[in-house]
Structure 1
Amino acid sequence: MTLTVKAVDAAKPREKAYKLADAHGLYLYVSPKGAKSWRANYTEAGKQKTRTYGLYPGVSLAEARKAHSAGREEAPAPKLAPTFEAVVRDWLKAKLPTLSNGKHQIQVANTLERYALPFLGKLPINAIPRSELVKVVRAAQAGGKIETGHRVASRISAVFDFAQDTGLIEQHGAAGLTRVLIARKTKKPMASIPPEEAGVLMRAIDGYDDSVTRLGLLLLAHTFVRVGELRGMLWGELKEGGAVWVVPETRMKMRMPHVVPLSRQAQSILAKLREMSGDGALVLDSPIHPGHPLSENTFLFALYRLGYRGRMTAHGFRALASTVLNERSGFPHDVIERQLAHKETDAVRAAYNRAEYLTQRRELMQWWSDWLEAAQRSDEGPRPASA
């Protein structure tokens, strides 16, 4: 339907402004005070703008149509959106530096190179239907590659989010792509011994023949940090005369610096490692490849040699500490969770807790080392901390 002069004349003001549509995007705008103007909306640089042709009846319906037609012919051609591949390249430039692990960086890039770009790469980012995305992620999961499909879906969604955040598109259909996939298998928890066996384990570690690996395992036990955080430990990260270790956000899973108060036992272990490292920057400098940290599997294979294959992993020290601290120490759950560097869902609470709990965390870490030491001597830990 198009407007007629009779309909334009009959348009009366209302409590709120309203529009009467004509053809090709032209419309009559009627203000609450009765003013009538000819207008049309258009998009420029991703933003909606409005072109006005004049007030009625000064500008008639026929004149407004003529002006609108001329304006449409003179309007610049809409800028084409970049291809999916171009956006992927820009996203990778922004994303990869945030991943501290070089292997992970390669995996992220290769996932898109192999499973997404061959099918979506040449398409404009704003012209890819969700049905095409579903087809791509399902193909990635074919042949039983359950985890691969989920990774592809996650990274495609992240690319579209990036395009939206940078103003290339207004909205997209890549959200929730994992809903069309076979669900991930539930991961088995990392193997960890029960608390009653901690003393036997600590004595076994204390007798391990390789000095750096032995001290590294003992330090891992007393700090219960993640293996990657410990492997990259630098002497320069020690603060307060060696009483505190600050792990930088680049090595933390949650991308937040982590404060680790060091017990007397942990500081003693570090003193022995300092004698071995000389002038090196790394705390756990590899004896085989000086200047490089111990390899990822060094601790795991050491536990294998000690007879703990399938029963204890390097990550298992975190589970052991969590169990003992929650069940026996008497420290508040929030304090324990903060020291484990688990994610805090409330950012304000997280910032507050980091400061509030530091004194309690010093006491917690000393309690834990005392418990390990007592277990190593007699398989019995100290009494719970007083409330």
Structure 2
Amino acid sequence: MTLTIKAVESAKPRERGYKLADGAGLYLFVTPAGNKSWRANHVRDGKQATRTYGRWPAVSLADARKAHQAVRNAPAQGAITFGDVARAWLKIKLPTLSNGKHQGQVSNTLAVFVLPTLGDRPIAGIKRAELVTVVRDVQTGGRIETAHRVASRVTEVFNYAQDEGLLEHHPAAGLTRTLASRKVRKPMACIPVHETGALLQALDGYSDPVTREGLQLLALTFTRTGELRGMRWDELREDGALWVIPPERMKLRLPHVVPLSTQAQAILATLREMTGDGPLVFDSPVRPGRALSENTFLFALYRLGYRGHMTAHGFRALASSVLNEHSGFAPDVIERQLAHKETDAVRAAYNRAQYLPQRRELMQWWADWLDSQRAAANPPSASE
């Protein structure tokens, strides 16, 4: 007796996981949480093992049968499969990624879109046309960005196989060129440099005091918005002259050191009077004990008339532009302070606090430059 689509759809979770047999060893496994995946048992290296073809509904009943039949038709030899190489590559790749969410995305794209079809195929026997079919199937329904990611990861798996001496050549080079073009992302809106002073004056007049001070501190530190919103009083060091952001709150999962200018320290002293009773510098007035909401700073810029012209993230672009073009500081010093990605993981970990004396000077230079722009936008009258 084989399964029907209706039987798969109506399978309900039970106290313990259970199997629904389809035929030829293929079965649907239903977990107590209600997740459903296609599986088959087999013997590998003399031991009982389970082969997984992917989760339902991402992998349909028909797709699972097709994948299972392909495995059964493959020669019973000890050839190294695409799945073997993919798992070995993931063990090396995943620890280098910034967070658990990204790690899950990389694993899942292979598990859902590639392994059901190619996982048990000997990697040396996979043809270019098969790879093109797999990645083009992904972009069906408009999933163009996902298809590009899948193609890139498939190519990385084959690169790894080649580097390990498992293949002399491979068919996955340039796989992304077989796909529709990605949508070009619009850069985050950022004002021209000459409008900096007017923006700062507008921020000075914003009505909500915590948001106002927060935007000014964002301009002075040019950190990512989430890093600033989550700022805690216990992250300040050296009597408030240094802010150390822990790795779990950084995009790249590495600690980041932010020297604080005298202007930034003055803002924090003002904020201390407003929110200093709790652990968060930017405690939410709506939900005490939690940080300001994600869109607080962005919506404030909208209210000031900067919709489409400036975003909270735009302060990073503004700082990068000015510092690289006008400050005279070395590019490496600027990059360290922007906490941009390093290609070398060891160097990246070391560089979080590298150039610290120069970065202290840079941050004070930047704060003084902002003050000069604010003053130039509204020079005193002759009578003053």
Q: TM-score, normalised by structure 1?
A: 0.64
SS of residue in 2 equivalent to 1:134: helix
Deviation of 1:88 (Å): 6.6
Return the match for 1:216 from 214, 219, 226.
214
Deviation of 1:220 (Å): 0.8
CA distance in 2, matches of 1:168, 1:289: 56
1:241 corresponds to which letter in structure 2?
Answer: D
Return the match for 1:314 from 302, 312, 315.
312
CA distance in 1, matches of 2:346, 2:107: 33
Match of 1:200 in 2: 198
Return the match for 2:357 from 356, 359, 375.
359
Structure 2: runs of 5+ lacking an equivalent: 1-43, 46-75, 380-384
Deviations 1:314-353 (Å, cap 9, x if unpaired)? 1111121122223332323332232222345577876787
CA distance in 1, matches of 2:232, 2:82: 43
Deviation of 1:195 (Å): 2.0
- The residue correspondences of 1:368-383 to structure 2 (distance < 5 A) are 368-379=366-377
Match of 1:95 in 2: 94
Match of 2:258 in 1: 260
Return the match for 1:146 from 97, 122, 144.
144
Measured on the aligned residues, the alpha-carbon RMSD in Å equals 4.1
Q: Do the aligned partners of 1:91 and 1:162 also contact (CA within 8 Å) in 2?
A: no
Deviation of 1:85 (Å): 10
Match of 2:247 in 1: 249
Deviation of 1:278 (Å): 3.9
SS of residue in 2 equivalent to 1:246: strand
CA distance in 2, matches of 1:110, 1:214: 41
Deviation of 1:223 (Å): 0.5
Q: Do the aligned partners of 2:223 and 2:338 also contact (CA within 8 Å) in 1?
A: yes
CA distance in 2, matches of 1:155, 1:289: 41
Against the structure 1 CA distance between its residues 278 and 355, is the aligned structure 2 distance closer, same or farther, given a 3 Å change threshold? closer
CA distance in 1, matches of 2:165, 2:286: 50
1:211 corresponds to which letter in structure 2?
Answer: P
- The residue correspondences of 1:263-282 to structure 2 (distance < 5 A) are 263-282=261-280
CA distance in 2, matches of 1:117, 1:241: 54
Against the structure 1 CA distance between its residues 355 and 293, is the aligned structure 2 distance closer, same or farther, given a 3 Å change threshold? closer
Q: TM-score, normalised by structure 2?
A: 0.64
Deviations 1:108-167 (Å, cap 9, x if unpaired)? 566456544554567677775543332121122235443221122234455667889999
Q: Do the aligned partners of 2:232 and 2:279 also contact (CA within 8 Å) in 1?
A: yes
Q: Do the aligned partners of 1:88 and 1:159 also contact (CA within 8 Å) in 2?
A: no
CA distance in 2, matches of 1:345, 1:98: 11
SS of residue in 1 equivalent to 2:258: strand
2:94 corresponds to which letter in structure 1?
Answer: K
Q: Do the aligned partners of 2:257 and 2:353 also contact (CA within 8 Å) in 1?
A: no
Q: Do the aligned partners of 1:100 and 1:251 also contact (CA within 8 Å) in 2?
A: no
Count residues with an aligned counterpart: 306
Match of 1:326 in 2: 324
SS of residue in 1 equivalent to 2:269: helix
Identity of matched residues, %: 63
Match of 1:24 in 2: none
CA distance in 2, matches of 1:227, 1:311: 17
1:131 and 2:129 are equivalent in the alignment:
yes
2:237 corresponds to which letter in structure 1?
Answer: K
Structure 1: runs of 5+ lacking an equivalent: 1-44, 47-76, 382-387
Match of 2:71 in 1: none
Against the structure 1 CA distance between its residues 214 and 97, is the aligned structure 2 distance closer, same or farther, given a 3 Å change threshold? farther
SS of residue in 2 equivalent to 1:286: coil
SS of residue in 2 equivalent to 1:182: coil
Q: Do the aligned partners of 2:144 and 2:180 also contact (CA within 8 Å) in 1?
A: yes
Match of 2:48 in 1: none
**Structure showing greater Rg:** 1
Q: 215-224 or 251-260: which moved more? A: 251-260
Against the structure 1 CA distance between its residues 351 and 160, is the aligned structure 2 distance closer, same or farther, given a 3 Å change threshold? same
Match of 1:49 in 2: none
Q: 349-358 or 267-276: which moved more? A: 349-358
Against the structure 1 CA distance between its residues 232 and 159, is the aligned structure 2 distance closer, same or farther, given a 3 Å change threshold? farther
CA distance in 1, matches of 2:85, 2:263: 53
Match of 1:10 in 2: none
Against the structure 1 CA distance between its residues 312 and 362, is the aligned structure 2 distance closer, same or farther, given a 3 Å change threshold? same
CA distance in 1, matches of 2:167, 2:288: 49
Q: Do the aligned partners of 1:325 and 1:331 also contact (CA within 8 Å) in 2?
A: yes
Against the structure 1 CA distance between its residues 289 and 153, is the aligned structure 2 distance closer, same or farther, given a 3 Å change threshold? farther
Q: 117-126 or 313-322: which moved more? A: 117-126
Deviation of 1:357 (Å): 2.5
Q: Do the aligned partners of 2:339 and 2:352 also contact (CA within 8 Å) in 1?
A: no
Q: Do the aligned partners of 1:99 and 1:250 also contact (CA within 8 Å) in 2?
A: no
